[in-house]
Chain A
Amino acid sequence: MPEGSIKDGIGASVRRKEDKRFLTGSGRYTADITRPGQLHVHFIRSVHAHANIKAIRKDAAEAAEGVVAIFTGEDVAADGIGGPICGWVVTNRDGSPTNEPPHPILANGAVRYVGDHVVAVIAETLEQAMDAAELVEIEYEVLAPVVDLANAGSGPQIHENVPGNMYFDFELGDEAAATAALESAATVVELEVRNNRLIPNAMEPRAALAEYDPIDDSYTLFTTSQNPHLTRLVIGAFMLSIPESKLRVVAPDVGGGFGSKIYVYPEEAVCTWASKKLQRPVKWTADRSESFLADAHGRDHINKVRMALDKDNRITGLRVDTVANIGSYLSAFSVVTPTILHAPLLSGCYQIPAIYTNVKGMATTTAPVDAYRGAGRPEATYLLERVMDTAARQVGMDPAAFRRMNFIPKDAFPYQTPVALQYDIGDYEPPLDKALEMIDYKGFEARRAEAASRGKYRGIGLSSYIEACGIAPSAVAGALGARVGLYESATVRVDPTGTVNVFTGTHSHGQGHDTTFAQIVADKLGVDIGSVEIIHGDSDRIPFGMGSYGSRSLAVGGAAIAKAVDKVIEKSKIIAAHLMEAADADVVFADGKFTVAGTDNEKGFGEIALAAYVPHNYPHDRLEPGLEETAFYDPLNFTYPSGTHIAEVEIDPSTGVVELVDWACCDDFGNLINPMIVEGQVHGGIAQGVGQALLENAHYDETGQLITASYMDYCMPRADDLPNFKVDYTVTACTHNDLGVKGCGEAGAIASPPALINAVIDALAPLGVTDMSMPATPEKVWRAINDAQTEAAE
């Protein structure tokens, strides 16, 4: 559908409905909420990466001014409180299950990373809690840390039931076929890459405020969550044994998530638990330092890649051996991220007849690692798009041409990969062509020469990606170890006056659902977008929901809304037929009006709504009054966005500084509901990918201390680190949801890192440089140039 063809409907770049409250300071984030009589909790966190707790002395602190309670792991254990669970596990190569160690909400007996929660100090004010915390004495027996991922298996064992510090040993694909392809290959391309560890850094730090109501023995938890129902389920059923009907979880405005706010964290549970014990609301707000230490981190893989090519340079096989850092405990999606969300993506957008991969998930004494924007797919895309460039260079082909000849042809869909997925639809050449044109690929060598005349090395790099998102088909997920379904719910409630309330189980924390979803409803019902309210984030108001991650909100949640609206329309048609004394089949609904074919009879949508609630003249024999419909939508397949991103860089050889000078991308997200919002998602995703490739790195020293624990040392992309981005689209509509949409939230972060690193390597290739690790910091680049020049001189 062409952009803006329907005012405020599908395809229009409608300005966001939610903007005004954010622009005027009226947004309501968890930290903004205050409850009468609330207490404040400060967590004393482990200063050691790995230690036994010998003693905790809290007498002096308990006597300090304002202190109400001090809780430790022993108190948690005494109350039988459970820990956060892993939401999705895998079966090992040998058929055994994932090793799941306990994860107490306050450390009991041992600490396993710097930042581990040890003591909760609760006082009248936060300052009092922090003052009292300084009086708590914790005696540790320090143990050897496990920091080096490559050698994690030989380190001291971190959990009793995780031998060799290996949580799981997963495989996918046909090992024999991949081995055979590599053995008979005309060319074998080898590459080892490290997917650097990142810290998500949503700008709003996590927070929680829990309140207990003794009147009906119920709890309300305000929390910074991407999925309040999941939080309710986990805290209620697995941690605190609270019936779900007695626990209301509200995720109000949430200031970004990027995965890090999917998981249920110990702090939320401690607040909830303490609110009943103390009969007072309990509030916690992370400061940024705590976020660095104790938010789930992202990525952190070592991937060994071998790719087989035949004599015509067609890919015949791929083997990837991955070691993934899972950290100190199993976070909710920590197991699925490097396995199910990673291994099936290894075919990319290429025809690869044989693929095999093994993924070992390792325990280390670092913060838990979990899904971060893209979750497994950036890691797959990075290694694949890096090896594609390496292969092209090795066989002397243009990287665009090499990709093109190995693309899955457009007439091959649906396409079954050797790694479990069936791509429903795609066409990979048009986005490649468009992106090449947008960046003027043909003119690149002239730009390289011009840069050289200024003493700069210029490089260009491609990344043609595919992702599987819109997670997920519940049946597939269940077969692969998921402990939840991954459908989405929507209720569409039409008021008697014709205004529409949409209750969605997804959660918006920047994605603009208030607008996009309203556009879908407005378009389908032919009503003004201003009369559509989107309600999300409150487990008491929404029937159920799985939240927002995995670029699923539109493809799953939006599709559920569309289905609920369809049900509303079907019911309305029957009412309209009754009112107009016509046969149901003769009623046509278009542009907000019900008409009867061949007559000039018509009823507006508002009239039907009124009739449904004032049913004086109503088909009571066939319908109940009211106009409210609920739909649960469980997709039949993942969706498969794809596209090509191209980065162009200039490197200053005297400092090693990489300047990102141009970016062009062309994505196929299927149909677009709001192109403006989609473009914003692409921009943000690219920025995070640029951050990963050039700036960001979570660094633990050998003792397990997080060195990059503030913005002084963890390099966040600033405005002057980035260029403007050229963004365009092609469309192949998703075949299995009614909207034909695929999802766009993660694509930028998935596609961009390899494009950038390929560009850096391309810039330095004339010197003989063939590899560069992320982030490509000035010093690394400077060293690579120096080393290459030294080698050339010898």
Chain B
Amino acid sequence: MTMVNLTLNGKQVSADVPDNTLLVTFIRETMGLTGTHVGCDTSQCGACVVHVDGESQKSCTMLAAAAEGASVTTIEGIANGDSLHPMQQAFHENHGLQCGFCTPGMVMSAIELVQDNPNPSEAEIREGLEGNICRCTGYHNIVKSVQAGAKMMGG
């Protein structure tokens, strides 16, 4: 067992978990935040993407113990009270989601993408979402959402 201490959505949390606990398991099962999803077991679908110290990471491919001391932000932690994060709002306004399963990871990847590149082109967005698979939308409206989100985030 390993005691893991980290900041989760701004709150200090600690838990003693088996060493082989993945960060996503820690978030979903130990901490009960089920917005972060698991869609594959080969680190490709991106449903589990969270931010670790501000950078997007696949939480299914990282041990919780390796996040010791880090600041982890999940989809539950980006809205400001009742007011959605601009990227969440953009996905809503542009119908960038259907079944919602890939959405948390997609939004978390998109936020980082725009933080790195405030004015991404369509091609840069498509390339930048390579690590996130959506089966519902055909990506058309996701790309539109990210473009709109970038503008709303001040790009």
Q: Identify the A interface with B (CB < 8 A).
A: 15-16, 18-29, 31-32, 34, 127, 201-205, 253-256, 258, 287-289, 509-512, 676-677, 679-680, 683-688, 710-712, 716-720, 722, 724-725, 748
Asked if residues A202 and B79 are in contact (CB atoms below 8 Å), the reply is: no
Which of A22, A680, A710 is the one whose CB lies under 8 Å from B137?
A680
Question: How far is it, in angstroms, between the C-alpha of A258 and the C-alpha of B134 when the chains are bound?
Answer: 13
- A288-B42, A680-B98, A711-B40 are contacts. A201–B34 as well, Cβ < 8 Å? no
Question: How far is it, in angstroms, between the C-alpha of A511 and the C-alpha of B136 when the chains are bound?
Answer: 9
Is B69 in contact with chain A by the CB < 8 A criterion? no
User: What is the minimal beta-carbon distance from B40 to any residue of chain A, in angstroms?
Assistant: 4
Smallest CB gap from A29: residue in B: B101
Asked if residues B126 and A684 are in contact (CB atoms below 8 Å), the reply is: no
Give chain A's interface secondary structure class.
loop
Asked if residues B122 and A256 are in contact (CB atoms below 8 Å), the reply is: no
A683 contacts which chain B residues (CB < 8 A)?
Answer: 137-141
Which of B84, B92, B135 is the one whose CB lies under 8 Å from A258?
B135
- A22-B97, A23-B97, A204-B101 are contacts. A719–B139 as well, Cβ < 8 Å? yes
Question: How far is it, in angstroms, between the C-alpha of A23 and the C-alpha of B103 when the chains are bound?
Answer: 7
Asked if residues A256 and B99 are in contact (CB atoms below 8 Å), the reply is: yes
Asked if residues A288 and B95 are in contact (CB atoms below 8 Å), the reply is: no
Asked if residues A512 and B84 are in contact (CB atoms below 8 Å), the reply is: no
User: What is the minimal beta-carbon distance from B41 to any residue of chain A, in angstroms?
Assistant: 5
Question: How far is it, in angstroms, between the C-alpha of A21 and the C-alpha of B141 when the chains are bound?
Answer: 18
Q: What 5 new A-B contacts, CB under 8 Å, besides A683-B140, A719-B142?
A: A19-B92, A203-B102, A512-B98, A680-B141, A722-B139
Cβ contacts A to B, 9 pairs, < 8 Å: A18-B100, A31-B37, A256-B101, A511-B98, A683-B140, A711-B45, A719-B139, A720-B126, A722-B126
Question: Could you give, for residues 118-155 of chain B, a 1 whenever the CB lies within 8 Å of some chain A CB and a 0 otherwise?
Answer: 00001101110110111111111111000000000000
Asked if residues A26 and B35 are in contact (CB atoms below 8 Å), the reply is: yes
User: What is the minimal beta-carbon distance from B63 to any residue of chain A, in angstroms?
Assistant: 14
Is B93 in contact with chain A by the CB < 8 A criterion? yes
Question: How far is it, in angstroms, between the C-alpha of A21 and the C-alpha of B97 when the chains are bound?
Answer: 11
User: What is the minimal beta-carbon distance from B85 to any residue of chain A, in angstroms?
Assistant: 9
Question: How far is it, in angstroms, between the C-alpha of A325 and the C-alpha of B128 when the chains are bound?
Answer: 38
Asked if residues B34 and A15 are in contact (CB atoms below 8 Å), the reply is: no
User: What is the minimal beta-carbon distance from A665 to any residue of chain B, in angstroms?
Assistant: 12
Is B23 in contact with chain A by the CB < 8 A criterion? no
Asked if residues B92 and A20 are in contact (CB atoms below 8 Å), the reply is: yes
Question: How far is it, in angstroms, between the C-alpha of A287 and the C-alpha of B40 when the chains are bound?
Answer: 6
Question: How far is it, in angstroms, between the C-alpha of A720 and the C-alpha of B37 when the chains are bound?
Answer: 23
Asked if residues B137 and A288 are in contact (CB atoms below 8 Å), the reply is: no
B35 contacts which chain A residues (CB < 8 A)?
Answer: 24-27
Asked if residues A31 and B38 are in contact (CB atoms below 8 Å), the reply is: yes
Question: How far is it, in angstroms, between the C-alpha of A710 and the C-alpha of B138 when the chains are bound?
Answer: 20
B123 contacts which chain A residues (CB < 8 A)?
Answer: 720
Is B36 in contact with chain A by the CB < 8 A criterion? yes
- A20-B92, A684-B136, A712-B44 are contacts. A288–B39 as well, Cβ < 8 Å? yes
Asked if residues B135 and A201 are in contact (CB atoms below 8 Å), the reply is: yes
B42 contacts which chain A residues (CB < 8 A)?
Answer: 288, 710-712
- A25-B104, A510-B98, A684-B136 are contacts. A710–B75 as well, Cβ < 8 Å? no
